[in-house]
Amino acid sequence: MKSVQSFLDAIPMPAVFVDTQMRIVGANAGAWTLNPHAGDPRPFVLVFRQPSLGAALETCFASGTAQRAVFHHTDGPHEIWYEVTVSRVQGGEINGSLLCFNDTTHLKQADQMRRDFVANVSHELRTPLTAILGFIETLQGPARGDQKAQDRFLTTMAAEAGRMNRLVGDLLSLSRVEEEARVRPTRLVDLDQVIRSTLRNLAPVAEEVGGTLIYDAPDDPPQLIADSDQLFQVFTNLMENALKYGGEGTDVTIRIAKSPRDHVLRVPVLRISVADTGPGIAPTHIPRLTERFYRIESHRSREMGGTGLGLAIVKHILNRHRGRLAVESTVGVGSVFTVILPLR
């Protein structure tokens, strides 16, 4: 059945052809990566052991109409989902059914992400909202006429409302960054000025937490094509984190260095590092830091007004600039967040 094989080879997804006895006639290379025995001339159900596939195949032969089934495959740490179409093929010397495996993993993941996102946002908004509603009830009832209690509750309510406001602000800026993701920045930006204005802006925060911002300014301040407002946001988020999580008395040092070639981006880059002398981050957390709403000590971070969106925004902005974020940390010593931007 040479002709069957050449058809199978032309199908741009894993495909297997079986005869009316449900024995495998042939498979293409994509199917072999799913199952090294995909092309063996054996009963299909003994090679692909997921019952849903065997059932769809039987129904297809019995009814003569195309069937669909879901096939789940694990490839090391990756879970892959296929929607399998089983179609009856008959004509000339060819008589059997064709199974085509369509990879739907990305759709499933996007769907899951959207659901997680809505659940997270709702949860984040509900916590302060519940607190505010509780205080309103108290103010209307037991605390009516108690000036001291009223002042205290109103202060807390203002803080909770502030948190909701920041969350909504962060969500809006995240969606704005995503919207512009494909538009490359075009302006020439003076990095030194951006960093200096970030430092000015964060001076009160540094004072509040008892930390020190140290800028190791370069002799020849570099310029690059970028979006200065977005870079301002990147450095604000990183320095604010360094101050907030570095703990009292932390030193936050900002340095700029040029590198002739980044080993990931493979181009000349600028590296802007924000280093703190805080408690550091355990290695298991590092790869997840840029996920939306990811917080290491969610309780502590929330107390500090954190929403867990800061680093997600940083990552999106750097993607738009074709750059990347590198995080190194030693527990008990401190963390270094490095912004890496292509020079050109």
Ligand X SMILES: Nc1ncnc2c1ncn2[C@@H]1O[C@H](COP(=O)(O)OP(=O)(O)OP(=O)(O)O)[C@@H](O)[C@H]1O
CA 26, CA 23: separation in Å to the nearest integer?
Answer: 9
Single out the residue of 25, 31, 281, 339 in contact with ligand X (rule: CB under 6 A): 281
Q: Smallest gap, in angstroms, from Cβ of residue 303 to Mg ion?
A: 13
Q: Smallest gap, in angstroms, from Cβ of residue 195 to ligand X?
A: 17
Under rule CB under 6 A, residue 242 binds ligand X = yes
One character per residue 125-164, x = contact with ligand X (rule: CB under 6 A): ----------------------------------------
CA 234, CA 310: separation in Å to the nearest integer?
Answer: 8
Single out the residue of 14, 30, 310, 342 in contact with Mg ion (rule: CB under 5 A): 310
Which residues have CB under 8 Å from 306's CB, separation 6+?
A: 244, 295
Q: Residue 322 in contact with residue 238, Cβ under 8 Å?
A: no
Q: Which does 245 bind (CB under 5 to 8 A by kind): ligand X, Mg ion, none?
A: ligand X
Contacting ligand X within 208-237 (CB under 6 A)? 237
Phi, psi of 42 (to 5 degrees): -130, 170
Which residues have CB under 8 Å from 333's CB, separation 6+?
A: 277, 280
Q: Which does 278 bind (CB under 5 to 8 A by kind): Mg ion, ligand X, none?
A: ligand X
Quote the tokens at residue 265.
């981006």
Single out the residue of 198, 241, 273, 335 in contact with Mg ion (rule: CB under 5 A): 241
Under rule CB under 5 A, residue 128 binds Mg ion = no
Q: Which does 170 bind (CB under 5 to 8 A by kind): ligand X, Mg ion, none?
A: ligand X
DSSP H or E run through 286:
none
Q: According to DSSP H, which parts of 20-104 are helical?
A: 29-34, 44-47, 51-63
Under rule CB under 6 A, residue 311 binds ligand X = yes
Taking alpha carbons only, the member of 67, 35, 68, 63 closest to residue 49 is 35
Residue with the two structure tokens 């902005």 = 317
Question: 70: which strand partners?
Answer: 83
Q: Which stretch binds ligand X (CB under 6 A): 68-76, 115-123, 258-266, 296-304?
A: 296-304
Interface residue list for ligand X (CB under 6 A): 170, 237, 241-242, 245-246, 276, 278, 281, 289, 294-297, 301, 306-312, 335
Q: Which stretches of the chain bind Mg ion, using CB under 5 A?
A: 241, 310
